Amino acid sequence: MHRWLFMGFEKAFKPPDAYFTYAKVYCVFCEAEIVDRQTGTQFKQCDHNVHKACLEDIFRTKNECNLCNAKILLGYQKCISIPKMVPNKVTKRKATIDQNIK
């Protein structure tokens, strides 16, 4: 579900060049070492590191770094709550039917 958000995050927040020169880097979510730097990334707000696969799990649970509780992606909740479709006759009719059922 949030895979599109992860791909957008990867394009918008590329890790700095220093990330690739660190001796050892550990994921803040699973606490395993990130051996291949292409499979990980670094948060801009707090400079903590995470696997790209773990980032998707973080987006599913919350929008905060596990270590320092810094917001990972500002506007994340707003982005999720925006309707993806403009209301039309079909969606209005469905909403009316759903209200009548309740």
Low-confidence ranges of the chain (pLDDT < 70): 1-8, 74-87, 102
Residue spans per domain, the chain: 3-101
For residue 51, CA distances in Å to 1, 57, 61, 82, 97 come to 18, 10, 15, 27, 44
CATH number of the structural domain 3-101: 3.30.40
For residue 83, the model assigns a pLDDT of 55
Nearest residue to 7 via CA among 41, 34, 33 = 41
User: Is the whole-model pTM more than 0.75?
Assistant: no
Calculate the average pLDDT of the chain.
76
